[in-house]
Amino acid sequence: MEDSLQLQVHDIEVQVLTGIYSEETHLPQPLRISLTVDLDCPRRFTPDTPLTASKNYMDLKHAATTALPPGVHFTLVEAVADHICETLFLQDARVRRVEVKIVKLAIAADRRWRAGRRRQDVGRQGPSASIT
Q: Which domain holds residue 104?
A: 4-125
DSSP H/E element including 122: helix 105-125
- pLDDT confidence of residue 111: 52
Q: Is residue 81 part of a domain?
A: yes
Yes or no: say if 87 and 114 are a contact pair by the CB < 8 Å rule.
no
Yes or no: say if 6 and 37 are a contact pair by the CB < 8 Å rule.
yes
- pLDDT confidence of residue 118: 44
Measured CA to CA, the distance from residue 129 to residue 119 in angstroms comes to 9
CATH number where 45 lies: 3.30.1130.10
Chain-wide mean pLDDT for the chain? Answer: 80
Q: Is residue 132 part of a domain?
A: no
Measured CA to CA, the distance from residue 97 to residue 16 in angstroms comes to 24
Give the total number of structural domains in the chain: 1
Give this prediction's pTM: 0.76
